[in-house]
Copies of this chain bind each other. A is one copy, B any other.
């Protein structure tokens, strides 16, 4: 009876989450400009209804009565664990704190936008301090076992992983990536001037549709739209939507967004029937979710085999621009390593270094060893050290990302951890499907998706990231497969 009550509440929460997802998707893709204000109110109402449902007397009574679910089937015990975690996250934050946080976040985001435009870190600084303070308090409400509040925040995105755990993998990662980057810098860069042509947007859209069909994106269960920043959202188990954007002078941007977001979408579409419409129909963590998107984007989407299959199709959409460009040059263009000031423009080699830099800064901010005032100086110093270049402006430096203005401290590591998880999973997949490259070259993505279905997606949020990794690979988190992949691939490309 208690378990039934919990399931009933969970199902309502799922539908309310779907509704919130639709309200947000619509805001990013369809909403007429003047509708924004009411949309915030609609979102706030649905969020507050969901909050009330989750922290209700019924939930707490059921959770108390059920304990750890002894005697229940494994699936129900996993369900109980995830429900309890969600309940604890919500119930521990006082209503007044949540209201303060929402207000401060709104102001902070607005201040950040202006500050970035005006390259004015000083204007953003007081808001950054407020967001740090709020998140320190939040970590205290949630609790953490180390002496750094940062661990309390990290746990939200990557359950049971501490800053110390992350450092263990980030230190060797940084050393070897920095070394590789320095080596590549001494090599001649390919001539990729063909990218700097006009690629008509309607043909980019036609190619994206074809690309999704090739990868096996089921359009009866999802769709592609346009938004300012690409994202994936689940409005229902059979309604998973991705977005992209188009620039006539940047053909690669939209293509790799579509592949990346499709990777997220395959995960969301792949949760098995018994998890649907429950809180278990979710990724194991943000990093595991990124492992899927970055696996499709990089390991598959930037592979030679992939373009053996897709490049002729791309050429036939852009004959004028690409017919004179051989496949091998195109392959080099999608794998060009070129240190960039901006994280989202970074190549596969330097991307993780951008993340490690942010992780180091976050860790020190919460440990109190770095004052917020000193952020711009520290940023430039670490950029020089890790990536070899430094920004002339804070707009292209410390102010570039939205995350801190939203108070999302602890989120960044997910991106780099996703790379590691992805390659560990890839290693296992290769062992079981040795024809991986041939399958891709022949457009047989179904075998790859089926393997991911059976080994990754099937678990939803039932396991923690480390449990899931152990289940799939029999191993703990490791940098080796990722570094082997990167070093082999780029040694070959850059001779």
Contact surface of A with B, Cβ cutoff 8 Å: 12, 15-16, 18-19, 22-23, 26, 30-35, 37-39, 41-42, 45-46, 49, 219-223, 235-239, 277
* Residue among B32, B33, B46, B221 making CB contact with A19, cutoff 8 Å: B46
- Shortest CB-to-CB span from A84 to chain B, Å, is 23
Majority secondary structure of chain A interface residues (helix, strand, loop or mixed): helix
Contact, CB under 8 Å: B35 / A239: yes
* Residue among B26, B37, B219 making CB contact with A26, cutoff 8 Å: B26
- Shortest CB-to-CB span from A281 to chain B, Å, is 11
5 CB contacts below 8 A, A to B, read A18-B38, A19-B45, A22-B26, A34-B238, A39-B236
Contact, CB under 8 Å: A223 / B32: yes
Q: Which residue of B lies closest to A19 (CB)?
A: B42
Contacts of A22 in B (CB 8 A): 22-23, 26, 42
**Which 3 A-B residue pairs are closest in the complex by CB-CB distance?**
A35-B239, A38-B236, A34-B238
Knowing A18-B42, A49-B49, say if A32 contacts B237 (CB, 8 Å).
no
* Residue among B32, B221, B223, B239 making CB contact with A239, cutoff 8 Å: B32
Contacts of A23 in B (CB 8 A): 19, 22
Contact, CB under 8 Å: A236 / B35: yes
Contacts of A42 in B (CB 8 A): 15, 18-19, 22, 236
Q: Which residue of B lies closest to A31 (CB)?
A: B239
- Shortest CB-to-CB span from A22 to chain B, Å, is 6
Q: Which residue of B lies closest to A29 (CB)?
A: B30
Most buried by B among A12, A30, A37: A30
* Residue among B30, B222, B238 making CB contact with A223, cutoff 8 Å: B30
Contacts of A235 in B (CB 8 A): 35
Q: Tell me, in angstroms, the Cα distance from A33 to B223 when the chains sit together.
A: 10
Contacts of A45 in B (CB 8 A): 12, 15-16, 19
Q: Which residue of B lies closest to A42 (CB)?
A: B15
Q: Which residue of B lies closest to A37 (CB)?
A: B238
* Residue among B16, B26, B33, B238 making CB contact with A38, cutoff 8 Å: B238
- Shortest CB-to-CB span from A19 to chain B, Å, is 6
Q: Which residue of B lies closest to A237 (CB)?
A: B38
Q: Tell me, in angstroms, the Cα distance from A223 to B29 when the chains sit together.
A: 12
- Shortest CB-to-CB span from A340 to chain B, Å, is 35
Q: Which residue of B lies closest to A41 (CB)?
A: B15
Q: Which residue of B lies closest to A239 (CB)?
A: B35
Q: A22-B22, A30-B30, A32-B222 are in contact. List 16 more A-B contacts (CB 8 A).
A: A12-B45, A19-B19, A19-B23, A31-B239, A32-B219, A32-B220, A32-B223, A34-B239, A35-B221, A35-B238, A37-B238, A38-B237, A38-B239, A38-B277, A39-B239, A49-B49
Q: Tell me, in angstroms, the Cα distance from A16 to B46 when the chains sit together.
A: 8
Contacts of A221 in B (CB 8 A): 32, 34-35
Q: Tell me, in angstroms, the Cα distance from A16 to B41 when the chains sit together.
A: 10
- Shortest CB-to-CB span from A216 to chain B, Å, is 15
Q: Tell me, in angstroms, the Cα distance from A118 to B304 when the chains sit together.
A: 54
- Shortest CB-to-CB span from A145 to chain B, Å, is 38
Contacts of A238 in B (CB 8 A): 32, 34-35, 37-38
Q: Which residue of B lies closest to A30 (CB)?
A: B223
Contacts of A222 in B (CB 8 A): 32
Q: Tell me, in angstroms, the Cα distance from A26 to B25 when the chains sit together.
A: 11
Q: Tell me, in angstroms, the Cα distance from A30 to B235 when the chains sit together.
A: 12
Contacts of A38 in B (CB 8 A): 15, 18, 236-239, 277
Most buried by B among A23, A35, A237: A35
Q: Tell me, in angstroms, the Cα distance from A222 to B34 when the chains sit together.
A: 9
Q: Tell me, in angstroms, the Cα distance from A223 to B26 when the chains sit together.
A: 12
- Shortest CB-to-CB span from A46 to chain B, Å, is 7
Contacts of A18 in B (CB 8 A): 38, 42
Contacts of A34 in B (CB 8 A): 220-221, 238-239
- Shortest CB-to-CB span from A33 to chain B, Å, is 5
- Shortest CB-to-CB span from A472 to chain B, Å, is 28
Q: Tell me, in angstroms, the Cα distance from A479 to B350 when the chains sit together.
A: 77
Q: Tell me, in angstroms, the Cα distance from A41 to B45 when the chains sit together.
A: 19
- Shortest CB-to-CB span from A197 to chain B, Å, is 26
- Shortest CB-to-CB span from A44 to chain B, Å, is 9
- Shortest CB-to-CB span from A450 to chain B, Å, is 19
Q: Tell me, in angstroms, the Cα distance from A237 to B12 when the chains sit together.
A: 28
- Shortest CB-to-CB span from A15 to chain B, Å, is 5
- Shortest CB-to-CB span from A72 to chain B, Å, is 25
Knowing A19-B19, A26-B26, A46-B19, say if A33 contacts B220 (CB, 8 Å).
yes
Q: Tell me, in angstroms, the Cα distance from A464 to B101 when the chains sit together.
A: 45
